[in-house]
Amino acid sequence: MSDDLYKLTAVEAVARLKKKEISPLDLVEASARRIAEVEPAVNALPTLCLDRARDHAKRIMAGGDACEASGEAGWLAGLPVSIKDLADVAGVRTTYGSPIFANHVPATSHPLVERIERKGGIVMGKSNTPEFGAGGSTFNEVFGRTRNPWNTSLTCGGSTGGGSVSVATGEVWLAQGSDHGGSLRRPGTYCSTVGIRPSPGRVTRGTSNNLWSPQSVQGPMARNVPDLALFLDAMAGFCPQDPMTFDAPAVSFSTAVASPAAPRRVAWTADFGGRFDLDRDIRAICDRAARRFEELGCIVEEISPDFGPVDEIFMALRSQQFVVDRELQIQEHRDKFKPDIIWNTELGLKQTTSQLAWAERERAALFRRMVGFFQKYDLLVTPGAPTAAFDANLRAPETIAGRKLENYMAGSTLNSAITVAGSPAIAVPCGFDQYGRPVGLQLVGKPRGEAALLQAAALYEKLLGLDRLLPIDPRPGTVPPSA
């Protein structure tokens, strides 16, 4: 079987699987060969489960219960995928990027992993993540650093950094991840892949202790928008273990993307009305890229919603989530936590009930303003990140537009503002800077408006054609000077 199978898109590979032109085992072996070839340069999938993947492939090939979802939307038919090392996979080492769980092997899988496997996705391994997913650069004390395949001296972003790299390099066809402050969007921007943060409740979070919070969500990453829509179809739907979930749409996301309609009115903002800093090159590249929506017949207007004190709202709510997730663990294992997590948790412990109540009121007010904004505009476009990918040895960019960051989350405000707003958002590639680093846009849609959002992204992607550059072989390089 050809060694070039890894170059197929996910949609192409699934079509060939359904026609039995190739088998799930063919793709598993093609994935295993590609992982062996590129993994030493990038460290995206530090934990593999190849025998488990082969066994799953054979069960699908035999039919029966392993193919019970074959008639459903999102059927993957035996396609290899990666799972972020925050989600349990039964019988596979799952560390959450933490020394506390360095040797943890769960007996059962996360509900989303169960859903993906039921839909014919074959788990090849666990993708690297920052410790407990906290950070905009993917590294931890268990597995070390994951590197950007466009320039291995640079970060791939975080926290779904390993997942983004695993699809960018062709190790797997699709990657599962999660997003709190941009963890599906920043790695997409830095690695020229696509990642969507779905609306809260679109995809199950299963075992989370923050089941009633809309802040953190699960979602897919891929090489192109049709592949992304396919994986979102595999993930979406009601889950009895997650009270916020709801039924999958009657019309699949793949069907919507196959016949895309352009948005009529597009709002573009580089910095949310002067609220956030971004490097000059990023501003110029993204401004030109956003104007290209006019080539699709869209009316593009430079305007921003009123986000109010969104960075303060986000940090208050994020810190409360850290208290729920990490307070008891820090009490028992404080010496095994990185300082950023301790800082974020203690920030939550220090804030008052009144401060939390203020944040909730402000979040509700922002949501209402966004609803009004989307009555006039069909799509909001922003830069995907305020800087290009930075030194892989840093936990965050040292400066943005020459200004030093106050904390490790300060480089994610363009993304975290959309988290607070409750809208779905997708990262799409839009070009490269003078040093060859990928640059992306963040497209933001109406709440639960993933279908229209994916359609806009698909049309834009086809216009630019940057998806055809993937998968790539990892490239060595040097760290460009700071902006």
Cα distance between residue 455 and residue 240, in whole Å: 29
Q: Binning pLDDT at 50, 70 and 90, where does residue 483 land? A: low
Which residues 6+ apart lie within 8 Å of 483 measured at CB? 279, 280, 281, 387, 399, 401, 402
Q: Binning pLDDT at 50, 70 and 90, where does residue 1 land? A: low
- Model confidence over 406-429: pLDDT tens digits? 888 888 999 999 999 999 999 999
What global pTM score does this model have? Answer: 0.98
CB-facing half-sphere around the CA of 439: CA atoms within 13 A = 26
The full set of domain ranges for the chain reads 12-469
Which residues 6+ apart lie within 8 Å of 20 measured at CB? none
Kindly indicate whether the domain formed by 12-469 is annotated with CATH number 3.40.50.300.
no
pLDDT score of 323: 98
Largest CA distance in the chain: 63
- Model confidence over 13-34: pLDDT tens digits? 999 999 999 999 999 999 999 9
pLDDT score of 409: 87
- Model confidence over 298-344: pLDDT tens digits? 999 999 999 999 999 999 999 999 999 999 999 999 999 999 999 99
Contact indicator for 127, 163 with CB cutoff of 8 Å: yes
pLDDT score of 10: 98
pLDDT score of 61: 98
Letter string b/e over residues 371-380, b meaning 16 or more CB atoms within 10 A of that residue's CB = eebbeebbbb
Q: What is the mean pLDDT of residues 139-148?
A: 98
Which residues 6+ apart lie within 8 Å of 193 measured at CB? 164, 167, 168, 187, 221, 222, 223, 427, 429, 470
Q: Binning pLDDT at 50, 70 and 90, where does residue 162 land? A: very high
* H or E, element range at 456: helix 450-464
Q: Binning pLDDT at 50, 70 and 90, where does residue 280 land? A: very high
Contact indicator for 318, 81 with CB cutoff of 8 Å: no
How far apart are the two ends of the chain, measured CA to CA in Å? 47
How is 205-262 classified by DSSP, letter by letter?
A: -TT-S-TT-SS-EEEEEESSHHHHHHHHHHHBS--TT-TT--PPPSS-HHHHHHS---
Strand segments, DSSP code E, in 384-467 are 399-400, 403-404, 425-432, 438-444
Contact indicator for 121, 234 with CB cutoff of 8 Å: yes
pLDDT score of 406: 84
Q: Which residue has the tokens 């395949």?
A: 149
Give percent of the chain with pLDDT exceeding 70.
Answer: 99
Please give the angle made by the CA atoms of 395, 420 and 320, to the nearest 5 degrees.
70
Q: What is the mean pLDDT of residues 120-140?
A: 98
Q: Binning pLDDT at 50, 70 and 90, where does residue 249 land? A: very high
* H or E, element range at 38: helix 24-42
- Model confidence over 170-226: pLDDT tens digits? 999 999 999 999 999 999 999 999 999 999 999 999 999 999 999 999 999 999 999
Cα distance between residue 48 and residue 62, in whole Å: 23
Residue with the bigger pLDDT between 65 and 1: it is: 65
